[in-house]
Structure 1
Amino acid sequence: MIDSRRGGWTLTDLISVVVPFFNEEDGIDNLFIEICAAFETIPNSVFEIICVNDGSHDLTLAKLLNHASGDPRIKVIDLSRNFGKEAALTAGLDHATGDAVIPFDADMQDPPNVIAQLVEKWREGYDVVIARRADRSSDSYVKRSTAALFYRAINAISDITIPENVGDFRLMSRATVDALKLLPENCRFMKGLFAWVGGRTAEIEYVRQPRNEGNSKFSGWRLWNLALEGITSFSTLPLRIWTYFGGITALFTFFYALFLIVRTTIHGVDVPGYASILTVVLFLGGVQLMGIGMLGEYLGRIYNEAKRRPSYIVRKVYFQKSLEHEAA
């Protein structure tokens, strides 16, 4: 394999593992143990772990720095505040230098021993190796059902296909990551961006594990907002729906007006009914407000993009030499 960063040919691949952290102090020690153990089974490879502290309020940063001070393979990116997982993942990808990059969740529901399978497939020549969850019984019934509904909906209306039951856990080649870094949008739905970049793709399956430590940071409301972000980022069909609905409503109104003209000509004028008028007015008013709300969703995203604010702000980058210098 040609390594453009080091120059010439090399038999050793550098693999970057990118892990966003937000209040994950309980599982940090076990995470490093299992990731290091997983790479011991992968020949001809070295690795780095890019840890992104996304504004944690607990001892997450202190524990990350403790590990980084004793292991040169660990780099800690400390963000100035909590920007959200998508921004933290973007920060990690921007700082990763590996020949291949693997996003990984700190909750350890994605088993590290699967990394060897990802690397093996990548070495066969694939640009992207996605890890599909073959068994999601560790997730609640509501979460599984809503996730399935979301994937069906977004794949039905978007121009790209987002693989179902696939999270951020995957392997991407250096070329793929460099292509991702060229995408300038601030409203980032990473699963959609991964699919948009494309590349020669392979797939493996694994069983998703229960969360060992801590609690999920994604409430139902945050998951809904993330789903809305994905739909509005990769489809304009929600906007077109109101055009179709308005046209159909106008057509029915036209035929109803013709009916009233004919009936009035034959039978005369009936006493008008306030209830029917009020029902129609309230119904159309509600529909108009829904349409305006959908326009507002897209307009808000245009507003955010127009400001050109960065997706994240790095407070400081820590690695072993910088920590040794601070200690001295």
Structure 2
Amino acid sequence: MNESTQQKPIISIVSPVYNEEAVLVELHRRVSQVMDQQDELWELVLVNDGSRDRSAEIIDELHQKDPRVKGISFSRNFGFQVAVTAGLNHAQGDAVILTDADLQDPPEVYPEMIAKWREGYEVVYGVRASREGETWFKLFTAKVFYRLIRRITKIDIPLDTGDFRLMDRRVVQAINNMPERNRFLRGMIPWVGFKQTGVEYERAVRFAGESKFGSVRQMLPFALDAITSFSYLPLQLATYLGFIIAIISGLAILTVVLVRLFGPESPLLGQATTLVSVLFLGGVQLISLGIIGEYLGRIYDEVKGRPLYLVDKKWGFSEEKSADSTD
């Protein structure tokens, strides 16, 4: 181990890992190449999120060859947002770069981010100028989703960005002090504030393997976490809808009374109308209960107070500097 590896790292690179055995060696090679060329003190924190392949073994091998590679292995799969959180909890650098393991976020962008940090910016996020290899559906839904989030919340989430960003130690500490379980880091980081700027880059195709995130089944809970974490609008919509239906119902009752008293017999006042009205009101009530249930379920998660994650193994971390779980 040379002298530089014994010093406190200036830059921590945090990357969640889930079944990424095909990319980890290349990730380390490119990170090493870029950071060593910049003569930076750095560490690479790989968080194994319950992978079923050889990811954990490869992290171990990389750590044995290069002590700047550090690893955390969960007891099971806890999800991407929690894996990022664990990386932030354990990163020791003065600045932390969040990046995907699949090399779609090129390490060659790191020097520009670090330069912006040294200019005084405390968050430097990657802005996707282009996104190769992604389906039109994913591009369209992402575009609609982030514009919707900006409209219905009070946080300014930069458009066309993901989790790829650099954060100053002060920002990391603020995020670590936010213990919520249903985490939406892309909203939490803008929420904490501080001086932020963007760096444009070309998002590459995956180096190897298949995307682990992008199906509707995966994206829908992510979107629900984002909306319920930062907006009361769904609850307010249920209230507004209730008032609107009550007004329409009052007008309908008045209309029925007037028709009964002064108008001809109408086929619209029969059993079919009653059935449609009941089904409509029942649907509205169920939707409203569902919205309330989403918020209530998240409150239940918070009240239980379970740790966000449990660690099975660690490489390169002393016990006094990091915990095996977090509240």
Task: Give the partner amino acid of 1:172.
Answer: M
2:49 paired with 1:54: yes
Correspondence for 1:136:
131
Correspondence for 1:149:
144
Query: Is contact 1:102-1:172 (8 Å) kept?
Result: yes
2:68 paired with 1:73: yes
Q: What whole-Å deviation, never above 9, does each CA across 1:132-190 have from its counterpart, x for those lacking one?
A: 00112431100000001111111111111211111111100001101111101111111
1:274 is aligned, of 268, 271, 274, to 271
Q: What whole-Å deviation, never above 9, does each CA across 1:201-246 have from its counterpart, x for those lacking one?
A: 1111001001121111113211111111111111010011011011
Tell me the TM-score normalised to structure 1 length: 0.91
Describe how 1:160-309 pairs up with structure 2 within 5 A.
160-218=155-213, 219-267=215-263, 272-309=269-306
Task: Give the partner amino acid of 2:154.
Answer: D
Correspondence for 2:324:
none
Task: Give the partner amino acid of 1:129.
Answer: V
Correspondence for 1:3:
none
Task: Give the partner amino acid of 2:84.
Answer: L
Percent identity, please: 44
The Cα of 1:269 is off from its aligned counterpart by 6.3
2:91 is aligned, of 96, 99, 109, to 96
Task: Give the partner amino acid of 1:284.
Answer: L
Query: Is contact 1:68-1:320 (8 Å) kept?
Result: no
2:81 paired with 1:86: yes
Which 10-residue stretch deviates more, 82-91 or 33-42?
A: 33-42
Give unpaired runs (5+ residues) of structure 1.
Answer: 1-5, 323-328
| Partner Cα distance (1:228, 1:235) in 2 | 10
* 3-state secondary structure, aligned to 2:10: strand
Describe how 1:7-46 pairs up with structure 2 within 5 A.
14-43=10-39, 45-46=40-41
| Partner Cα distance (1:31, 1:100) in 2 | 19
| Partner Cα distance (2:70, 2:235) in 1 | 43
Task: Give structure 1 regions of 4+ aligned residues with deviation exceeding 6 angstroms.
Answer: none
| Partner Cα distance (2:219, 2:190) in 1 | 19
| Partner Cα distance (2:116, 2:318) in 1 | 34
Query: Is contact 1:21-1:60 (8 Å) kept?
Result: yes
Number of residue pairs aligned between Structure 1 and Structure 2: 312
Task: Give the partner amino acid of 1:220.
Answer: V
Task: Give the partner amino acid of 2:29.
Answer: I
Query: Is contact 2:47-2:72 (8 Å) kept?
Result: yes
Task: Give the partner amino acid of 1:65.
Answer: D
RMSD: 1.9
The Cα of 1:321 is off from its aligned counterpart by 9.4
Q: What whole-Å deviation, never above 9, does each CA across 1:40-69 have from its counterpart, x for those lacking one?
A: 2324x2000111111111111111100101
* 3-state secondary structure, aligned to 1:310: coil
Give unpaired runs (5+ residues) of structure 2.
Answer: 1-5, 320-327
The Cα of 1:317 is off from its aligned counterpart by 1.4
**Gap change, CA 1:220 and 1:60, over 3 Å in 2:** same
